Amino acid sequence: MFLPLASPREVKKRLWIALVGSHLPRKCGIATFAASLSRALEGIMGRDSTWFVALNNNEHYDYPSKVIYQLEQDRLEDYQNAAEIINSSAIDIVSLQHEFGLFGGPDGIHIVEFLNHLQKPVVTTFHTVLEKPSSSQKKAFIEVAAFSQALVVMNERAIAIMTDIYNISHSKIHLIQHGVPDAFYIDPSYYKHQLQLAGRFVILTFGFLSPNKGIEIMLKAMPSVVKKHPAVLYIVLGVTHPTVKKRNGEEYRESLENLVNNFDIAENVLFVDEFVDDDTLGYYLGAADLVVCPYHSEGQITSGVLSNSLGKGKAIISTPYLHAQVALAGGKGRLVNFNDPVGMSEAVLQLIENPEERRSLAGQAYIAGLQMSWSRVSRQYLAVFEELTSQAIETNKLDRVHTLPVINMNYLKTHTDDTSIVQHTLFGISDYAHNYSADDAARAIVVCAHYFNMFRDESVLFLVDKYMAFLSHARQESGWFYNYLNYQKGFPAQELSQDTFGRCLWGLGAAASLVQNRDQGMLARELLEDSIPQLDKLTYTRAQAYSACGLGNYLFHFPEAETAEDGLRLIVDSLLQRYRENASGSWRWFENFLTYDNARLPYALLLGYRHFSEPAYLETALEALDFLIDIQYQEGYFDLIGNHGWYVKGGEKALFCQQPLDAGALTEVCLLASALSGLQKYLDLAYAAFQWYLGRNRLGKALYHPSTGSCSDGLAENGSSKNKGAESTISFLLGLLALYSWELFERFHYEKETAI
């Protein structure tokens, strides 16, 4: 029985996303928002899945490498160039952060030039939605919306404005709230001690300073508050808005300081003239007993200050600007009329003198903030991105290959010396206290052979030389192979392993078929042919499956090789018989247990079907594969069987330690199942299996490290292993190369056959 067809929402793939807007270290609220969204998205998809086009304002910034293009806001040709760069890149979708003053031209109209040249889908987040726009503002807004495939706003009021005033279709608009840091509620006293504010009642206003901030209203309210409660401290945290500072200098800040002196409240007001990072803001916000937003701008539709205050669980007093009307409705805060110092002082005194009411507001704010956490918000964004990307893929099937990490062979090269690849590492450093392994050398040959075949990059052939020399040296006259060689280049006492034999045959088959007409391929073919007589001695299912991998690859290119054909038939018939002997009821498997590299067993039957076209091989393989998927695939990710107990029929499935070789094998078997069955679900599941490495797993932890090209040795209860051995990285590369091969070559081969 097959799993139901996986929808795009159920089986997600890793996207590459370009965020267009300002970028840190530019001091800008949009830059802070984009950086937070990027971090949250990469927490789901893995590192290097988000990139940036940064808007400059005639100033130089020291941007990180994630900024792929710097766009000068007043230079029209830069908008065209940015679009062309994205069009020619692996970016899947663009997330545009829109604010009128961010872009050049009247009311930011230059951004339309970028959108007009862009060929990738666009999701635009509107940070400002004007209720009373000028004619030019309305025109610019409507044009940006028209070029975008989806629009995001941050509260319900914005949706009403866009449909009623701008005549934009409701179906195009998505409501996703402003994200806030994921945080637990902690009593303010903790943060006060950290900031040396113990004993003070802390009121906070934060964000960029500008005349619209209305801080003078709170300062005018302070004398009556201080008279009754001398321990009150009002903190104004933030630098003057760059645009305001450029135009008027520090005139506004100085006017506020004059008010403080005139009211003689210098002991009760603290100006912190800093553009703080998230951690520092968290401390000040955590220390606040009360947050005040005395803004003048009634039309402000979005406020990061208000959102962050809710997320931190703060009692809030605000003027009734549009965002506050929606966010604080239902008793989640207190609203005071615009320009009303008396009303402000009364509201502040009420909450100081009624701690139970203040704590109630804080509790309601925190509950509301939980719905706005970046982990939740980013998943909502990702759902929109994935929906649009899946639609784009329908017209360009090659797009999916761009979701894959870049193939990085450096780790294999780094840990291969004159003898072979080093089996184990200590925190990624070669550990020579352990042996070299024929198991790893053989599978490393498979990786290098596939890589060379796809890209004709001869830099990996010297690795094949070393691995082939190792296997040739490890091979005995009987046809079996030693597995372990120590650092002194001697074979320690060891039992001969059937798995090692099968893996060596796998490597030889790959080298013979994928590195053809070269010395390595000719040697591999000779060794493989000489080893085939040992196949009838194999009794372990995985050893048989590994041998089938080698023979299947070999026969794909040398179908006339009769001895290899006979060997493959022998193996798949044996596996088929094992399945019929052990499968019953709901247990549809070859044995009464599931351990390591389970997916290789149905994969071997699929190879048999590909060569012999025997329906029983395909039917049994898919039945066993679906059973394996049923056990491990849940809630959109693969929860692999751990090696701390494995999974015995009638027992409990071990959750840890999950092993990378299982994810790679699942990737490969699902790809082949998709090709041979024609079922889309297996292609989706192949990507799901591979993304286990990237963090799509039980713990949400990535095991792959793109900077080094290495993979952690396993997923344990406390996260991914710090060690990165050969088997883990090789398994990752096998899965990755299989996906590249499918998207670039095999997809079209099987589609052509189906069409015929």
Q: How is the chain split into domains, by residue range?
A: 17-175, 188-371, 404-755
Cβ-based neighbours of 378, under 8 Å, separated by 6 or more: 37, 40, 41, 43, 44, 179
Helix 660-677 × helix 680-690 angle, to 10°: 160
Q: Cβ-count burial of 650 within 10 angstroms (0-12 exposed, 13-18 middle, 19+ buried)?
A: exposed
Which CATH entry fits the domain spanning 404-755: 3.40.47.10, 3.40.50.2000, 1.50.10.10, 3.50.50.60?
Answer: 1.50.10.10
**Nearest-5° Cα angle at 463, 457 to 467:** 140
Q: How many C-beta neighbours within 10 Å does residue 562 have?
A: 8
pLDDT score recorded for residue 654: 95
pLDDT score recorded for residue 406: 85
Looking at residue 745, what DSSP letter applies? I
> What is the spatial distance between Cα 417 and Cα 434, in angstroms, rounded to a whole number?
14
Residue at 411: amino acid letter: Y
Q: Cβ-count burial of 583 within 10 angstroms (0-12 exposed, 13-18 middle, 19+ buried)?
A: middle
> What is the spatial distance between Cα 332 and Cα 363, in angstroms, rounded to a whole number?
9
pLDDT score recorded for residue 96: 97
Answer whether 697's CB lies under 8 Å from 23's CB. no
- In DSSP terms, which residues pair with 227 in a beta bridge? none
Q: Which two tokens stand for residue 741?
A: 């091969």
**Residue 44, H or E segment:** helix 29-45
* Two domains, one topology: 17-175 and 188-371: yes
Pairing of strands 484-485, 593-594: unpaired
Answer whether 731's CB lies under 8 Å from 663's CB. yes
- Chain center to CA of 618: 34
354 three-state secondary structure: coil
- Give whole-number Cα distances, 95 to 83, 207, 379, 700, in Å: 13, 24, 14, 23
Which CATH entry fits the domain spanning 17-175: 2.60.200.20, 3.40.50.2000, 3.40.50.300, 3.40.50.720?
Answer: 3.40.50.2000
270 three-state secondary structure: strand
Q: Does domain 188-371 have CATH number 3.40.50.2000?
A: yes
- Give whole-number Cα distances, 338 to 319, 334, 344, 350, 420, in Å: 6, 13, 9, 18, 75
Tokens 């393989």 locate to 621
Among residues 658, 603, 606, 605, which one has the least CA distance to residue 631? 658
pLDDT score recorded for residue 16: 84
Q: For the chain of 756 residues, list the mean pLDDT of each consecutive stretch of 10.
A: 29 70 90 92 75 91 91 94 88 92 92 93 94 91 94 91 93 92 84 92 92 92 94 93 87 93 94 88 91 87 84 90 86 91 94 92 86 89 88 56 82 90 79 85 93 78 91 89 87 90 94 65 84 93 96 84 94 97 96 96 97 96 98 94 95 94 97 93 95 94 91 93 92 94 65 35
